[in-house]
A and B are shown apart, each in its own frame.
Chain A
Amino acid sequence: MAQHLLDLFAIESLWTEEQRLVRDSVRRFARERYAPVLQKAWDDERFPDELVPEIAQLGVLGAQLHGYGCAGMDAAGYGLTMRELEYVDSGLRSFASVQGALCMYPIHAFGSEEQRERFLPRMARGELIGCFGLTEPDSGSDPGSMRTRAKKVDGGYVLDGAKMWITNAPVAGIAVVWAKTGEDASSIRGFLVERGFAGFSTPRMHGKHSLRASWTGEIALEGCFVPDANVLPGVQGLKGPLSCLTQARFGIAWGVLGAALSCFDTAVAYSQERKQFGKPIAGFQLTQQKLVEMASGIINGHLLVNHLSGLKDRGTLTPTQVSLAKRDCVRTAIETARSARTVLGANGIMADYPVMRHAQNLESVLTYEGTHEVHTLALGRAITGVDAFS
């Protein structure tokens, strides 16, 4: 009798009873409520905002944070949440990652008590959507080269610059914008720019072949005044944005395993149904090899993120460890999606099956939050002690 992959290697037995409840509740929501509206959202190149109240009701937004209306979940519980969201679509997981890890986290970690009270409960309730402005048209893997400047004036700062590839930007009520207050990277500060501030706009970016069920936009800052009360007091330099990315990458490592599982489940089911030469294609050695490679990758990925979760709960997680996990899990996921596509043959390119959509989404995930290549170099530096960047 065929066994499900995660039972085969007793993966699901790793989770506590509580983590399983989290998994099941998020799974039901994502598959029953989100999946039915996904294809239309994808076709229309939009995130289905109308589901935000339900997503918030489920407690997904900022679920890893404590207090301020957040769930306060442990690392694996949070990770399983990301996995179940991304099983359906990377755009849904991206929405939750940006809100929880890139916006709520810095306010929680580096904000004043007043800022936390002012923003976090509304963000947890989904009443205020956040975006994260770090990447610029001419500054991607090298964020220290950013051009956005914040000039000190009486009572606050005036921001000028442009951010690009910003998830959620078109619908965001608040943007966590990173800008230099001086010349070098050590002068970078975090600014909470609110919708309605003069000189703040978020034009939408069109024409994506990936993450179509997700908002992507720019942040334009033209003499935008931000009061002192909206400057994050607790951090300065690249450490600010990079620590947010460490949080988000943790969720990505978990999340993409959901996309991989979706592709794997689809490929296994298809191979058992599809008959050629008088037998199911699951009975062909080349198909079995593909499925086994996918299975090994997914199981390895789960063991990796489970260990990573233990490190996170113990408070010893390092950015290098997260680099390794993000890099490895995304590679596993994208290889799984591409291979699953071949198992499905021509059907693999059709919207009737999720694999091509996942494969397209994962092209973005491979590049965002630290490209595969830059994570390779970060790990290379950690292993050899020699820095390939400089």
Chain B
Amino acid sequence: MKILVTIKRVEDYESKIKVKPDGTWIVTDGVNYRANPFDEIAVEEALRLRDANMPSEVIAVSVGSELSVNEIRSALAMGADKGILVKQAGWVDSDAVARCLQKVIEREKPDLVLMGKQAVDVDDNVTGQLLAEYLGWGQATFASKHESLESAEEKAKKPGVKLAADKASVEVIREIDGGLETLSVKLPAIVTVDLRLNVPRYASLPNIMKAKKKPVEELDPKALGVDVTPKVKVLKVEPPPARAAGIKVPDVAALVQKLHSDAKVI
């Protein structure tokens, strides 16, 4: 089984993000970068599926600047077998990323593509869906599972996305409003993953040492025939409004009154 997993370089959520004074983007000086946490869950799931269905291969793909090779290496250090970087400096919108991935997938012909449901930088939550559309493949978004992240199944590192016995489809449990839905998706397919699917492993030191020997191929969007000119224009970036101070209410009656008249939630 060949599994392709995407990994995006994003701002570390522990960094303090400030908006540039001219409102064009955020201040990137002094900001740390890391792999998108949802993508790390996708990598973990890919590794579990691989290990449960050997022989299999996991390819980690990133679209971004040359620095994104760091995030590919982190996926390789977790255990992925090889990496592909589609190198493009500057901001690339989700549509361009989906079209770059489409070309890589047409070449690599994976059986399954696992992706974070969204990246924590711009929170678009569209790349997986666009990619499925461009490829004409089935998709299952927000993959999750019944078992808790404290369960024995999770500790045994069992995959939550399950390959059918005939290897022609995967069963995906997905989070929907009010519960969980189970889908069977014909392969090849796109699966995007949610937070409660697994707990990603820590890259072990021996695996980090091995990762440097694993191949990372660099590709150019132009050579792939993809025009990465953004379709989405960033008009303005502004910080969320500062939260107003809370108030104390004397009793439940006053609270209910406030929820009704001020907050307008009841």
* A313 interface contact, C-beta 8 A: no
Q: Is the CB of B73 within 8 A of A58?
A: no
**Which A61-76 residues have C-beta < 8 A from chain B?**
63, 69-73
* A151 interface contact, C-beta 8 A: no
Q: Is the CB of A25 within 8 A of B208?
A: yes
* B62 interface contact, C-beta 8 A: no
Of all chain B residues, the one with the shortest Cβ separation from A64 is: B205
Q: Is the CB of B209 within 8 A of A73?
A: yes
Q: Which of A18, A24, A59 is the one whose CB lies under 8 Å from B212?
A: A18
Q: Is the CB of B30 within 8 A of A22?
A: no
How many Å from the CB of A23 to the closest CB on chain B?
A: 10
Q: Is the CB of A25 within 8 A of B30?
A: no
Q: Is the CB of A17 within 8 A of B209?
A: no
> What are the interface flags for A122-166 relative to B under an 8 Å C-beta threshold, 1 for contact and 0 otherwise?
000000000000000000000000000000000000000000000
* A289 interface contact, C-beta 8 A: no
* A20 interface contact, C-beta 8 A: yes
Q: Is the CB of A17 within 8 A of B203?
A: no
* A29 interface contact, C-beta 8 A: yes
Q: Is the CB of A58 within 8 A of B204?
A: yes
Q: Which of A4, A21, A58, A70 is the one whose CB lies under 8 Å from B30?
A: A4
How many Å from the CB of A72 to the closest CB on chain B?
A: 6
Of all chain A residues, the one with the shortest Cβ separation from B34 is: A24
Q: Is the CB of B70 within 8 A of A17?
A: yes
Give the interface SS of chain B, mostly helix, strand, loop or mixed. helix
* A274 interface contact, C-beta 8 A: no
Interface centre among B18, B206, B207 (most CB of A within 10 A): B206
Q: Is the CB of A57 within 8 A of B204?
A: yes
How many Å from the CB of A87 to the closest CB on chain B?
A: 14
* A50 interface contact, C-beta 8 A: no
Q: Which of B27, B69, B207, B211 is the one whose CB lies under 8 Å from A59?
A: B207
Determine the interface band of chain A, counting residues with CB < 8 A from chain B: 20 to 34
* A352 interface contact, C-beta 8 A: no
* A28 interface contact, C-beta 8 A: yes
Q: Is the CB of A17 within 8 A of B73?
A: yes
**Which A1-18 residues have C-beta < 8 A from chain B?**
1, 3-4, 7, 17-18
Q: How far is the CA of A3 from the CA of B29 in the complex (A)?
A: 9
* B102 interface contact, C-beta 8 A: no
Q: How far is the CA of A17 from the CA of B70 in the complex (A)?
A: 7
Q: How far is the CA of A4 from the CA of B203 in the complex (A)?
A: 25
How many Å from the CB of B77 to the closest CB on chain A?
A: 5
* B127 interface contact, C-beta 8 A: no
With A3-B30, A21-B74, A24-B34 as given contacts, are A72 and B209 in contact (CB-CB < 8 Å)? yes
Which residues of chain B have C-beta atoms less than 8 A from A25's C-beta?
77, 202-205, 208
* A97 interface contact, C-beta 8 A: no
Which residues of chain B have C-beta atoms less than 8 A from A71's C-beta?
204-206, 208-209
> What are the interface flags for B207-243 relative to A under an 8 Å C-beta threshold, 1 for contact and 0 otherwise?
1110110000000000000000000000000000000
How many Å from the CB of A15 to the closest CB on chain B?
A: 12
> What are the interface flags for A248-285 relative to B under an 8 Å C-beta threshold, 1 for contact and 0 otherwise?
00000000000000000000000000000000000000
Which residues of chain A have C-beta atoms less than 8 A from B208's C-beta?
18, 21-22, 25, 59, 71
Q: Is the CB of B30 within 8 A of A63?
A: no
* A246 interface contact, C-beta 8 A: no
Q: How far is the CA of A20 from the CA of B74 in the complex (A)?
A: 10
Which residues of chain B have C-beta atoms less than 8 A from A22's C-beta?
205, 208
* A60 interface contact, C-beta 8 A: yes
With A4-B30, A17-B73, A21-B74 as given contacts, are A60 and B18 in contact (CB-CB < 8 Å)? no
Q: Is the CB of A18 within 8 A of B209?
A: yes
Q: Is the CB of A58 within 8 A of B34?
A: no
Q: How far is the CA of A112 from the CA of B170 in the complex (A)?
A: 52
Q: Is the CB of B77 within 8 A of A21?
A: yes
Q: Is the CB of A29 within 8 A of B205?
A: no
**Which B34-76 residues have C-beta < 8 A from chain A?**
34, 69-70, 73-74
Q: How far is the CA of A386 from the CA of B30 in the complex (A)?
A: 49
How many Å from the CB of B87 to the closest CB on chain A?
A: 16
With A1-B18, A3-B30 as given contacts, are A18 and B206 in contact (CB-CB < 8 Å)? no
* A81 interface contact, C-beta 8 A: yes
How many Å from the CB of A271 to the closest CB on chain B?
A: 16
Of all chain B residues, the one with the shortest Cβ separation from A20 is: B70
**Which B73-117 residues have C-beta < 8 A from chain A?**
73-74, 77
How many Å from the CB of B219 to the closest CB on chain A?
A: 20
Q: Can you give 14 A-B contacts (C-beta < 8 A)?
A: A7-B30, A17-B69, A17-B70, A17-B73, A18-B211, A21-B73, A21-B74, A21-B77, A21-B203, A25-B203, A26-B205, A58-B204, A59-B204, A59-B206
Binding site for A on B (CB under 8 A): 18, 27, 30, 34, 69-70, 73-74, 77, 202-209, 211-212
Binding site for B on A (CB under 8 A): 1, 3-4, 7, 17-18, 20-22, 24-26, 28-29, 57-60, 63, 69-73, 77, 81
User: Would you list the 9 A-B pairs with minimal beta carbon distance, nearest first?
Assistant: A59-B205, A71-B205, A59-B204, A71-B206, A25-B203, A59-B206, A21-B208, A29-B202, A25-B202
Question: Can you add 8 more A-B contacts, CB < 8 Å, to A21-B74, A59-B204?
Answer: A1-B27, A57-B202, A57-B204, A70-B206, A71-B204, A71-B206, A71-B209, A77-B205
